[in-house]
Structure formats: structure tokens, C-alpha cells
Structure 1
């Protein structure tokens, strides 16, 4: 399966004008580039509220390594999450250290893109699997960075892009549906600090972090 990302960038000035009536907007809407691999250091961590789906019920995720095949690997206890550097650090899978797959998205779940600015739009197709339910599905996700605003989470208040995604899925040739999600990406930290999903088992927010 081949995934294509289609991007439509508006100017920052236009984004500020369109969003000027929203009181929660941050002062400036920057253009966010992908954090350089050299800045991703083992020992740094992000801690999140417990999410049985997204995080496997595990809270503190430490940067483990950047592999030779271009995967950023983060670890919490016996769980590993793989993110594709070549594809805007989108998640490809979560596995246990013994190799047992907890969830997998092929080639990746396209919920992020770089460079990112207000008005960026993209889409991509993927095949998904979750071990807890045994579900397998195919999906097309469409996302847009709709605002740059302040967001409060347990770890503090951050200036963040609000990204809204619509996931149109189908399974077993007869079932289909639509799921919506919103995530807030904080350029200062280089990570998503909050996710609100139609299915709450995927929700989480940042509670603590360490960045050297």
C-alpha cells in the first residue's frame, strides 16, 4: 500500500486574520519544522495520563534510540513505540520487547506532517490492527491544522497547533464508519501534548517531561 501526503499551505498572515476572533489563540502562528534527529536524546522522556489504547496503559515514555533504518523508538517498561523519521514521526506500531504486536499501522498513521503551519492539510491511507480487540481495518485519514492556540494540560500551558482529523474506515468489506480526533502539537516540545478522540480509550495528555 502506498500512502501519499497532500499539503496545502496558507500564509501565516492569513491564518492570523482568520483566527483573530478566537480568544484562545496564541500570539504568533509559526511554521514548525520536524525536530532534528540530533536533538532526540536517549534519557529524555514524556509522561502522559494513562491511555489503554494509545499508550498501552503505560505512562512514562523514554527516548530509547534512533535506529539505522530511520525509526525513533521510545520505551515504557516492556513496550516500544516506533515512529518513522522519513514520514514526519508518525507512528507505525507498538510492540512488546518480545516482539508481540499491540497495534500496527501500515505504512503509518498519517496524523502529523512537517513543515506544519495553520492551514496545512494532508491525507493518507493505512491498514490498522489492534491486539486487544483483534480488529483489522483499512482507513483514509484527512487532517488539517486549524489553529495555533494555547492549551492547558497537567504538565502546563503550551502554544500548540490544533489538528483535526477525520478517519474514514472500512472492515471486512461490509462495515464502515467515521471517527474524529483532535490533537494539540506543541512546537516547543516537539510532541503532541493532548489528544481527544471519539473513542476515549485513545485519549491522553502530557503530565510531565524531561528535555536536555
Structure 2
């Protein structure tokens, strides 16, 4: 049964990733050339109500041959977040406020970004508090190019969409389905907008009918928009 639930979740995500047609995005976009001192500040919004919940600031502290070390400052206090040179995180917050380490890094991007590009991958998530391990399956695509206006300015951006399945199912619930859209702007070396939504199926929910009906349980819906940025001299 567990393998069937996992396979069903993966099939749904793969179909969602494959169905929509792609808009041209122009010339391929290379990975960002980051520098120590680069800084980006985002307003964080509740995606359901549209109200601002706070802000988050990332600044590049160190660059090594295989990693970009950033300082993240938010309402829950500062911490360190480490990425690859392609902004693929080694550690990230999953739905339901669960911090996890990834091995290998989570494949958020696959530069160069270009028209029609798709990629996928499976990583192992290890939750920081519980130590629980499970696969995370990622299906991603370049979905087109748009011009976005935020408080930081107007930017030409490439939209990346991801359908993700967290294989954290239990007897009473499915794994988590996680959907992300992210607008990467080459001019600032990072995304200018990000939004996500998650959900899972509760198998115990019933409408008092002969056959038990599952219920979709929505998770958080979050939006980040760039409000300010500063790039170190190139």
C-alpha cells in the first residue's frame, strides 16, 4: 500500500510537470557570479490573506570551491544557510516548519536555464529535530520569461516551476505534495519572487458513507518578494 501511495503521488506530480506548454525564454541564462557581500531582502507574505508576516535577509558570507555560505536574518533569528553555486540548498525548511538537510543538495535550479529545459532528481531529507529520513522527489521545468515589478524595481525574470513529493507518508496520511514557483532575475543573481503551497491527503477523513473518502489537508502558502538588494563590486 505504501509503495502504491508513493507511486500515485509521483505520477500526479510528473503529469503536472509535463502537461503545460512552455513559452520561449530567450537566451540561456548562466549560473550567477556571486560575491561576498551580495545581499537580498525579501518581504514575506501569507499567501492566503496577502498580509505581510515579516522579512528575510540573505547575505553572502563566504564562497568556497563547492558552496556559498549565507547568513539568513528573519523573525526567528539569524542562522546560516549553505547553497551550491546554483542556489541549490544543502539545508532548507520543508512544509509544516520542518528543517531538513539534503543529500545531495536539493535540485532547485539546473543552470543554464533555457527554453524547454526540464530536470528531476531524488534527494534524501533528514529532519533536524527528529532525525527522520525519507526521499524527496523533485520535478522542475523552465516555464517562461516574465517582467516583474517589486519594491526593489522592475526585473526580467525566468519562471521556474517545481512539483515535489515528500515521501513522508504514514498509515493515516499520504506524503506531502509541495508546489513552488520562483522567478529568477539574472540582473540580481537571485530570485525576485517565490511562492509555494503544500498539501497532503488524510486517509482517516470520512463523510459517513460506505466508502471512506480521503480529505485534502492544505498546508502553508507563502510568498516572498524582493524589496531591496545590494551587489558587491564585480
The CA deviation at 1:50 is 3.6
Partner of 1:48: 42
TM-score by length of 1: 0.70
The CA deviation at 1:189 is 1.3
**How many matched pairs?**
174
Partner of 2:164: 167
The CA deviation at 1:182 is 0.7
Structure 1, gaps ≥5 residues long: 1-14, 21-27, 96-100
Structure 2, gaps ≥5 residues long: 1-20, 47-53, 199-219
Report if aligned partners of 1:118, 1:161 keep a CA contact under 8 Å in 2.
Answer: no
1:71 to 2:67 alignment: yes
Bigger radius of gyration, 1 or 2?
A: 2
Give the direction of change, closer, same or farther, for the CA distance of 1:124–1:169 in structure 2 (3 Å limit). Answer: same
Give the direction of change, closer, same or farther, for the CA distance of 1:146–1:201 in structure 2 (3 Å limit). Answer: closer
CA distance in 2, matches of 1:92, 1:46: 19
Partner of 1:109: 106
Partner of 1:179: 178
1:209 to 2:229 alignment: yes
CA distance in 1, matches of 2:127, 2:152: 29
* Further displaced range: 71-80 or 114-123: 71-80
- After superposition, give the CA deviation of every residue in 1:16-61 in whole Å (9 maximum; x if it has no partner): xx648xxxxxxx722101123xxx2222211112479xxxx76222
TM-score by length of 2: 0.64
Partner of 1:12: none
Report if aligned partners of 1:184, 1:192 keep a CA contact under 8 Å in 2.
Answer: yes
Provide the secondary structure at the position in 1 that maps to 2:89: strand
